[in-house]
Structures are given as structure tokens and as C-alpha cells.
Chains A and B, each alone.
Chain A
Amino acid sequence: MSRSQTQSTVAMLAPATGLIAVFIFVPMLLTIWLSFQSWSTETGFETARFIGVQNFIDIFSGSSIGRDFKSALVNTLIYTVFSVLLILPLSVLLGLLVHQKLAPGGVVLRTVLFSTYMVPMIAVALVFSKLYSPTEGPINQVLGWIGIPPQSWLSSPQTALGSIVILNVWQQVGYFTVLAVAGLTQIPEVLHEAARIDGAGSLRRFRSITLPLLGNTLLFSAVIAIINSVQVFEPVALITQGGPINATNVLTYHIRRVGIERAQGGLGSAMAVTLMLSLVIIITALFAFARPRDERPA
């Protein structure tokens, strides 16, 4: 009896756990191990040679290796911060718009917003590269109608990264809106009723009831938005190739260029480990920061 139970447990878990172990856990441990090795991606793991923390010294040095990596790290940080700062408030506002019952159209809006999340990033990148076109693109035309001078968007180092943030927000915000709606649905209607009877206006109710009770949803959204943001790759690989002048050189693009295209597997792995550590630190800090907020009385 107990033996057959053990057998079925192992049988049920083996396919998924085995695959995830071989194709996620083993590569993750190898990435950490390789970050201390000198290793060419073109050769077997047995050619790796231990060099201590030399890869980490190189990627933070003043050499061109270090400069390129540090620019990718900073660009990814800027990109992530702006994406999250735009996506979270927008998702709450759009969530309120979908969730409200005063005006019709909430469900239609949700469908339109969420369908953009289904569009392949590569198609998003292609379409926006044409929308952003300084002369033939409609965005500068529309801006012209309201008196804003034409922008150079993807072709200028000052605006290229911001342009990619905008296309990312456009693609992703629908998903986070659905998360926000889910959070809003969980807030008991009686709380709003009680506050209304006490004479609280809608802004006051939003600040004192909606926002605090959305705390967990927003924390979850922030974590997912950060993880998604560091994965930005397609617009950079396809449209800007990291340029102009390194302005859109982001980590996923840079690590692949170093570790796969230039086959510098050790250096690339050290960069990947740095990314992984940064994520652990940022997300831990986020949770530590969110905890006391949870306990603050509503």
C-alpha cells in the first residue's frame, strides 16, 4: 500500500521534475560554476579553467568589456524602473475603469487591453519601428496636430530607450490590468458602502480603502513586471542592435551577444550571475519595504 503510494508519487512527479531539473536547475548551477571559469561556449564544459573571480573583475573594470556591461546594467535598471513606474499606476487606473459599473464597456476594454499581451513581441517591435518613423510614422504626425515638434524616437540616443519602454508598456499593461481587476474584485463592497455612509468622497475611499487593500496585488505585479522587464530582447535585437551608441544595450541582449555570439561563456555567465543576484536583492528589498506597509492601519 504505502510502497505503491510512493511509486505513484515518484511516477507522477518524475516527468516534470526531471525536465525542470535537467533544463533549468542544472543550467542554473552551471551558470554559477562557469562564472568562475575561463570557458569558450564553442567547446565542452571539460575545457573550462578555474580563474577565481577574474570574470567579475573584468565585467566591472574600466576596459571595454566592463564599460559595455556596466552600460547594459544601467540601461536595464533605467528601463525596468520606468516600465514598472508606468505599468503599476496605469494598471490600477485601467483596472478601475474596467471594474466600475457606472458606464458600459468595461469588458470590451479588458478584451482590447489583454489582447495586446498576446501579440508576439517581435511583431510589436516591427509595428512600433514603423509607428515611430520620424517622417512616415503616424506618431509624429499626431504630435504635430497638437503642436509638439517631431521626435527622433528610436534613432536618437536620448530617446531610444524611452521609446522601447513605451512599446513595452503598451504590450504589457493589459496583463497587469487584469491582475488589478482581480485585486479590486476581492475588496468587499461593504467597505465602500460604510465609508460612503460616513461621508467619504471617492478620492478618499480610493486612498484609504482601495489602495491599501490592493497592496498584495501591487507587490505581485511589481515582481512580475521587474522579471518581465529584464527580459527585454526583441526590439533591441531586431531594431536598434543595442544602439545608437549603446543607448539600448540591455542585459538579455548583451549577455547573449557575449556568451553565445562571441562564445565568451565565462564572461557571459558572470554577467548572468550578476543579473540573478541583482534580482534577488531587489525583490527581497521590495518585500521588506512592502511588509510594514501591510501592517499600517487602513
Chain B
Amino acid sequence: MSIAAALPDSRPLERARRHLTPLAAGLTLLIIVVAVVAAFPLAWMILTSLKTPQETMHVPPVWLPATPSLDAYAKVAGVISIGRSFLNSAIIALVTTAAILVTSLMAGYAFAKYRFRYREALFALLIATMFLPPIVTLIPLYRIVGYLGLTGSLAGVVVPNLANAFGIFLMRQFIRGVPDELIEAARVDGASELRVLFQIVAPSVLPAIAALTLFAFVYHWNSYLWPLTVLQGSADQYPIVISLSRLLSYNRGAMNTGLVMAGATLAVLPPVVLFVLLQRFFVDSVISSGVKG
């Protein structure tokens, strides 16, 4: 596993290291440059949100605010109802995520541990939907949700997204690793299948649950196309990502730069903070979906 174990004889490694010192220095420099370039847009966003309007309009651009101020954030609250937008985003992201966890655990468990006819075919059919761009189904879906009377409501945003193929796939991958003996023992004790799933199987796939929670939360916090389509006009139902667009049309031109950056910073915070806290699980699950899939 570790690099030291893979190279039992330390002599060639040491020789290599002495040779490569300038290379190591070069690589370190390269890593720093790449990280700075990658982080630059977000750093610029935060810095600009703290500038005065004069600084944001200055030519050439001012990089650091002379006296950082939170005025732009206060102004955002005056243009859009930020609390309501955050609440809407939170409802959309949390309800969808909770439902996806339950539906994915159930289906993932069946595909991993049950034997039934057409199992592989059904699984393949579901997985195929992972590769279908949402625009392909958007037009009839808009009408179907209209039939259900959900247009213009948060329910309309949430209901079509309560299950997805990625979640089923991820759960099946991890539940396959749960020992059959564990499940059999619980069944012998008379536990129902739902009990087995939620009290025995689910606790042993917590990393997958963490990863799916984060993926689903981030995806639905960020999603734009479907909420925009189904909510059109109902401004009080807008999630933060849609409310943000109103900042851009407020005071068109350079005048709104600080405002736009402050709003963007607020919208970015929940998914990025969540990611930094739990990135271990994200990375593990990307690896398992990429390599095994």
C-alpha cells in the first residue's frame, strides 16, 4: 500500500531522491502555481465582495480591498430575500437528499443481495439513465408536473428527483461488501427485511451514505435548469441559485460587481464547506464509481 513497502530496498530510492532534488523543487513550484490558478476565481470572488463600489470599478483592477467592508452583503439582502432563498434551497436539497438515501438504500440492497429474474437487465436499464442529459426529458416532464398540479411549487422541484440511478449504483457497490452471514443472522432472529436494511446493512455502509448525502445535497443545491423551468415566475419559491441572477440584472454594468460577488460567495459556502469537511468520502466514492464502474 505505502510507497516504502512497495520498494523494500531503500538504496535505489535514495539514489533516485538525490538525483531528483531539483525535480522535487520544480514539482513543488508547479503544484503551488496550479493551486493558485485553480483557487484564483474563488479568491477573487471573496476579495471583490469585500471591496467598495469605487474599488470594483477601478481601471486597472484593484486586487486587495483597502478597508474590507461587508456593505455589499447588506445590499444583497436589500435586493433579494436572501433568507427565503436559502430556506428554499435548503428544503430542496435536504428533502431530495433524504429521499434519495432511502430509495437508493432499498434498491441497492435488492440489487446487491436478492436473486431475481431480469436482475442484471433491470439494473443496466436503470444505470443507462445516468447517461441521459436532463434536457432530453425536460419538455414532457414540465407537462407531467403540470398535470400533477405542482408547477410553481417547491414540490414540483423535488418530486421528480426523489430517486436516481447514481445512488442505486453506489449503494449496490458498497452493500455487496456486507457479509451475507450478518444479514442471515438478523433474519434468523426474526427481523423484517426493512429492519435488516436500516439496522444492520445501513450502519455498515456509512461511508457510502456520507458520500451520497454530500453528492445529492451539492447536486440539488446547485441545480438550476429544472427549478428555473418549473418555478418560472414564482419568485418566492426561488432557490438561491436562481435569486442570484436577479443581482446581475440589478443596476446593470460594473455597478453591481460587489453585489454579485457577495451573493455568489453566500451561495457557494454551503456546498464547499460541506465538501471540505467530508471530502474523504467524496473521493472514495468517485474512485469506486470510476474504477469499478
Contacts and interface: CB of A to CB of B under 8 A. Distances in A.
Interface of A: 5-6, 8-9, 11-13, 15-17, 19-20, 22-28, 30-31, 34, 41, 44-45, 94, 97, 100-106, 108-116, 118-124, 126-131, 133, 135-138, 141, 144, 170, 174-175, 178-179, 181-183, 185-186, 189-190, 193, 217, 220-221, 223, 227, 230-231, 233-234, 237-239, 251-252, 255-256, 259-260, 265, 268-269, 272-273, 275-276, 279, 283
A11 B193 contact: yes
Nearest to B160: A23
B35 interface: yes
Nearest to A141: B60
A264 B248 CA distance: 29
B136 interface: yes
B85 interface: no
Contacts of B147: 44
Given A9-B114, A122-B224, A179-B290, A252 B38 contact: no
Contacts of B17: 102
A185 B126 CA distance: 29
Interface in B16-52: 17, 20, 23-25, 27-28, 30-32, 34-35, 38-39, 41-42, 44-45, 48
Contacts of B20: 102
A260 B132 contact: no
A276 B136 contact: yes
Interface stretch (B65-73, B76-84, B98-106, B205-213): B98-106
Given A127-B261, A256-B135, A138 B61 contact: yes
A19 B30 contact: no
B140 interface: yes
B155 interface: no
Interface range, B side: 35 or more
B261 A114 contact: no
B244 A122 contact: yes
Interface string B130-162: 011111111111111001000000000001111
Given A130-B48, A182-B290, A220-B293, A100 B116 contact: no
Contact of B106 (A12, A30, A251, A256): A12
20 contacts: A15-B107, A15-B162, A19-B162, A23-B137, A23-B161, A97-B31, A100-B27, A102-B24, A103-B31, A113-B34, A118-B272, A122-B241, A122-B267, A130-B44, A135-B59, A137-B61, A144-B60, A252-B225, A265-B139, A275-B133
